[in-house]
């Protein structure tokens, strides 16, 4: 299953448009393709594999977990952390196609103190990272088809502050499990309100 439609894979889907198609969010549906959508089934996780942590670790920090690609917004996460004056702990993989982006755009922002890159982490390390965070940042720059990190963070008890693109408004209950924002400035403002 493809997460998003691209010019390359659209041809395949158009060719087989009569086949039943299950989307992973309403946002993933592309009505212009004329696909035979029959239902949306959201991604899920085994919540027993995530330890709920009712209070964040002190001192406070922000978390970013995801691929280090333009779409996931790691640069935006660093800008938010600097503006909020909070440490940012970042974890995730750097795919071959994203290495140049990482080297040129992200790596210069990592100082090892306020902005830390932890590398790829194990499931247990990810649960601990998300559970201990004051907030998980999800500053995406694309129409995210689902966003598993959001529900992983919520399962640990940590609010998610996310850019309201793609499936984000379907996943986050605004004001309850996190906040759906429409600009970096709004994300920063929500974080400052949350920590004060």
Report domain extents, the chain.
7-40, 47-195
Interior/surface letters 155-189, b for 16+ CB within 10 angstroms, e for the rest = bbbbbbbbbebbbbebbbeeeebbbbbeebeebbb
User: End-to-end CA distance of the chain, in Å?
Assistant: 42
Rg over CA atoms, the chain: 17
What confidence tens digit (pLDDT) does each residue in 141-159 have?
999 999 999 999 999 999 9
Query: Domain 47-195: which topology?
Result: Rossmann fold (3.40.50)
- Report the pLDDT averaged over residues 30-40: 90
What confidence tens digit (pLDDT) does each residue in 42-76 have?
999 999 999 999 999 999 999 999 999 999 999 99
What confidence tens digit (pLDDT) does each residue in 70-100 have?
999 999 999 999 999 999 999 999 999 999 9
pLDDT of residue 5: 74
């Amino acid at each position: 299953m493809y997460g998003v439609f691209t010019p390359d894979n659209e041809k395949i889907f158009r060719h087989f448009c009569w086949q039943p198609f299950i989307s992973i969010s309403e946002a993933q549906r592309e009505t212009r393709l004329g696909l035979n959508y029959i239902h949306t089934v959201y991604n899920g996780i085994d919540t027993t594999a995530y330890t709920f942590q009712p209070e964040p670790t002190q001192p406070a920090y922000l978390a970013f977990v995801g691929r280090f690609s333009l779409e996931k917004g790691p640069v935006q996460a660093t800008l938010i952390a600097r503006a909020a004056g909070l440490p940012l702990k970042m974890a995730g993989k750097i795919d071959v196609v994203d290495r140049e982006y990482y080297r040129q755009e992200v790596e210069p922002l990592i100082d090892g103190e306020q902005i830390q890159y932890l590398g790829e982490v194990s499931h247990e390390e990810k649960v601990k990272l998300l559970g201990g965070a004051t907030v998980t940042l999800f500053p995406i720059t694309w129409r995210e088809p689902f966003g598993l990190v959001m529900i992983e963070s919520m399962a640990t008890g940590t609010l998610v502050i996310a850019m309201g693109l793609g499936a984000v408004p379907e996943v986050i209950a605004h004001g309850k499990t996190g906040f759906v924002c429409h600009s970096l400035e709004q994300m920063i403002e929500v974080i400052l309100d949350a920590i004060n």
